[in-house]
Chain A
Amino acid sequence: MPRTHVSCTVNGDEVDFLSSDETSLLNALRDELGLTGVKEGCGTGDCGACTILVDGKVNCACLMFAPEAEGSSILTVEGIAQGDQLHPVQQTFLEGAALQCGVCTPGFLVAAKALLDENSDPTETEIRYALAGNLCRCTGYDKIIRAVQEAAVQVNGASK
């Protein structure tokens, strides 16, 4: 089977891998690069468990073919902390008990980070719509929304 050479930046590191044309970026990240924090919940772009940032924009990794990542900059849950300093959303998810089973959590964290990058002072409604592409079946979303609100407070505090 012909394989395409793909070069991109993942979590700040330049990476190369070979991919067949029909391999999803999700499978490439998980199987070729070992980034299993990116989860598959549906494979059809409906659950958001595989949410990543591609050049700063929210994407479902399952809806992209791996060769489409050529030349792009990708951020996964594994890359949102700065060294041992957790991103504020990671910290507030922990402290606010905003996760139960934790399988949807990586996608929520990436989507929440993307929201706060664009809008550091979102309303509750803005948070709910920004995260509407991410399914969580455990929490009822209450503590997730509150954790993002708290993270926004921290992000604003840090930037002021």
Chain B
Amino acid sequence: MTVTENPRTYKYVGTRPVRHDGLDKVTGKARFAADLDMTGQLRAALVRSPHAHARIVSIDTSKAEAMPGVKAVVTGADFADLDPTHPEFDMAVNLMARDEALYNGHVVAAVAAVTAAQAAAAAAAVEVDYEPLPAVLTIDEAIAEGAPIANPTNRTLFSGDTEPSNLASVNEFGRGDVEAGFEAADIILEREFRTVAVHQGYIEPHACVADCGQDGKATIWASSQGHFAVRSKTAAALGWSTDRIKVIPAEIGGGFGGKTTIYLEPVAVLLSQKAARPVKLVMSREEVLRATGPAPATKITAKMGATNDGEITTLQSTMYFDNGSTKGFSALTGAMSVASYKLPNLELHAIGTVTNTARSAAYRAPSAPQAAFAVETLIDELAQQLGVDPIDLRLQNAVVEGDVTAMSMPHPKIGFVETLEAIKNSDHYNSPVPQGAGRGVATGFWFNIGEQSSATVNLNEDGTATVVTGSPDIGGSRASMALMAAEELGLAVDRITPIVADTESVGFTDITEGSRATFATGMAVVNACRELIEQLKQRAATIKSVDVEQVEWVDGAAVIEGQDPLTIPEITAMAKNTGGPLTATASLNAAGAGPSFAVHVADVAVDEETGETTILRYTAAQDAGTAIHPSYVEGQIQGGSVQGIGWALNEEYIYDSDGVMENASFLDYRMPVASDLPMIDAIIVEVPNPSHPYGVRGVGETGIVPPIPTLANAIAAATGVRMTALPMSPPRLLAAITESAGS
């Protein structure tokens, strides 16, 4: 369903063709990195620390090297020695420990052998002498007075401090006068919220194949969200120049932010160089859960004030986000995501911590879901206490164009009000709440980003086209590229082949992240097509012997008054005689990414004997700007919603007291399955982004932001119990209900 304020109508944009890569994916032909095999290929295995924190005294690889089939062993000593101030230092140390193992599962050595079984056996024979060190496992332990240092190379970002610290970053910002805001308030609410680490949960484990030649150059086949980033990060970790590395993008089996960094490729390259044979390195699911991802655990206190007539006067919040073993920006982006309400008085303290747990990675709208849990819960309580409709309260305080974000930057044209109204007017919101159930609503915001993209559009001899970009396609973006090219050129979408090219075949392109691919890479495709149309008009003028000013481009053909139109195939057929092949390239650093808002509503029933929450109905509205391929926009909204539902109700990292993850399998790390869920009704709102030729905002991330508070608010409505810690799993919810009944 689409609620549109989009005045424009298009021939191809907004249609729902079968995606170009679809057939290979329903017939098993699509090639992911783990599906690739090279002649003479070795298999590799990693040696991981059994300690959460330990000094690596020595590593003896001699036994492993002597084992059958073993061709190469590498340790931290084989990698480039980066300065801790290097921007890739933490990434490089994370993929191969140097002086200290910083978490349980940290890689300390790697082995390549003829078979996977030989590699695994040899990895087990690598002898590492560890000196265990005190470990810091939680936010509270990290910030405790006199806490041991989790990572001696960490210096607090933005602080100027030069001493080791367990603080990853410290930021403070806001506006107005919060004390005056609380004085002006009639109601003040304050709560503390806790969330634990969760994993992105992509179904494809990390994998790559690397082949290093005798010329010192390496080819890498990688499943990643950004193969140019694989190149630059691999180059940094090895101390190589980028021209020694070519990365070929394989299909990627889900990423959600978790494949924006790398774990394997430099290791595979070094093993391949030592062995002079291709090396394939694939993680197990246990390795994925123990040592990649996760999203940060948090501790957030939030205090909100409002007047009796519903004006939210103040928000004051301190947000701790745990980055795991290295520094990062997770606390900053969490605080920055508080951007949906006018909040004249705002004070935010964003503090990142470092602990001896796996290095956290981006996860879809990184840090916004945890922050929204706090803010959207308090607004729900406020609506409850004021006795007003929770959407009306949000509408009263919602930001519009010109209102400022947490960073006091003015919002451009946004569709928050329209998205709130889409839910307010939805069939779901206007249907009675089922007997015994509770209904909750909540909202979410994400910035979206632009960044650098390149695209080349080649017209073939017969008038078909190839659209070449450098953006790995994780959710159908190739189809979006083809649709925008079809619209520009006036060429049927099935005559356009969109491909993702390797690092030597297309211009530099940043990672597929920040909901940027359809926005920024799409803009590069549009620009290349527009350049191509100028060429087509020039060729038509040459063919017809007229001045180019007399040629117009209309619906896929050059139109010259008084003459038959010249179609693309007619022009490309004569390309050889009119100047050669028709091709155009565009590159850009895209500005004007459109912020995106989402509003969700859920009806839940809670079994008060087991604590189990059943979602009876779920509706998610989101401003897409313009939906290029509405089916895949709905897919992003639905997929994000269900990841958020899993985060809210079940998913959690469980560590023992030694920092060992106790549930490192899909049996015990419980993600939603089909029988847990109802249909997810997606409402696409279209308030076009004026900074994109088709109004695209980017839709990938925002959908994961509202589900946690949506369900917490619905559970509160159903049970009267306010959950302030995740997950709201049956035992935890049952305990809260029991405690509430007893008090």
User: Do B674 and A127 have beta carbons less than 8 Å apart?
Assistant: yes
In the assembled complex, B631 has its CB within 8 A of some CB on chain A: yes
- Residue-wise, chain A 118-160 has the 8 Å CB interface mask toward B (1 for contact) of 0000001101110111111111111111100000000000000
Contacts of B16 in A (CB 8 A): 97
In the assembled complex, B665 has its CB within 8 A of some CB on chain A: yes
In the assembled complex, A19 has its CB within 8 A of some CB on chain B: no
Contacts of B117 in A (CB 8 A): 20, 22
- Shortest C-beta distance, B684 to chain A (Å), equals 13
Please count how many residues in chain A sit with their CB below 8 Å of the partner chain's CB atoms.
58
User: Do A128 and B677 have beta carbons less than 8 Å apart?
Assistant: yes
Chain A residue nearest to B681 (CB atoms) is: A142
In the assembled complex, B35 has its CB within 8 A of some CB on chain A: yes
Q: A99-B22, A101-B204, A143-B634 are in contact. Are A77 and B666 (CB under 8 A)?
A: no
User: Do A144 and B635 have beta carbons less than 8 Å apart?
Assistant: no
In the assembled complex, A117 has its CB within 8 A of some CB on chain B: no
User: Do B27 and A41 have beta carbons less than 8 Å apart?
Assistant: no
Q: A100-B635, A138-B475 are in contact. Are A44 and B28 (CB under 8 A)?
A: no
* A-facing residues in B148-199 (Cβ within 8 Å): none
Contacts of A144 in B (CB 8 A): 674
User: Do B18 and A95 have beta carbons less than 8 Å apart?
Assistant: yes
- Residue-wise, chain A 13-39 has the 8 Å CB interface mask toward B (1 for contact) of 000000010100000001100011111
User: Do B27 and A90 have beta carbons less than 8 Å apart?
Assistant: yes
Contact of A90 among B26, B202, B252, B667 (CB under 8 A): B26
In the assembled complex, A63 has its CB within 8 A of some CB on chain B: no
User: Do B674 and A137 have beta carbons less than 8 Å apart?
Assistant: no
User: Do B675 and A128 have beta carbons less than 8 Å apart?
Assistant: yes
Please count how many residues in chain B sit with their CB below 8 Å of the partner chain's CB atoms.
59
Contacts of B255 in A (CB 8 A): 101
Q: A36-B35, A41-B203, A143-B634 are in contact. Are A134 and B254 (CB under 8 A)?
A: no
> Which of B304-312, B485-493, B524-532, B639-647 binds A?
B639-647
In the assembled complex, B352 has its CB within 8 A of some CB on chain A: no
Q: A44-B665, A100-B474 are in contact. Are A137 and B205 (CB under 8 A)?
A: no
In the assembled complex, A104 has its CB within 8 A of some CB on chain B: yes
Q: A100-B632, A132-B675, A140-B677 are in contact. Are A94 and B22 (CB under 8 A)?
A: yes
Interface centre among A97, A106, A143 (most CB of B within 10 A): A97
Bound Cα distance from A22 to B205, whole angstroms: 22
User: Do B666 and A37 have beta carbons less than 8 Å apart?
Assistant: no
Contact of B639 among A44, A128, A140 (CB under 8 A): A140
Q: A99-B25, A145-B674 are in contact. Are A46 and B205 (CB under 8 A)?
A: no
> Which residues of B are interface residues toward A (Cβ below 8 A)?
16, 18-19, 21-32, 34-35, 37, 117, 200-205, 251-256, 284-285, 474-476, 629, 631-632, 634-635, 638-643, 665-667, 671-675, 677, 679-680, 682
> Which residues of A are interface residues toward B (Cβ below 8 A)?
20, 22, 30-31, 35-44, 46-47, 49, 76-78, 81, 86, 90, 93-97, 99-106, 109, 124-125, 127-129, 131-146
Can you name 20 A-B pairs with beta carbons within 8 Å? A35-B28, A43-B284, A46-B666, A77-B27, A86-B26, A94-B18, A97-B632, A100-B474, A100-B635, A102-B22, A102-B25, A105-B26, A106-B28, A137-B202, A137-B671, A138-B639, A139-B638, A140-B639, A140-B640, A141-B674
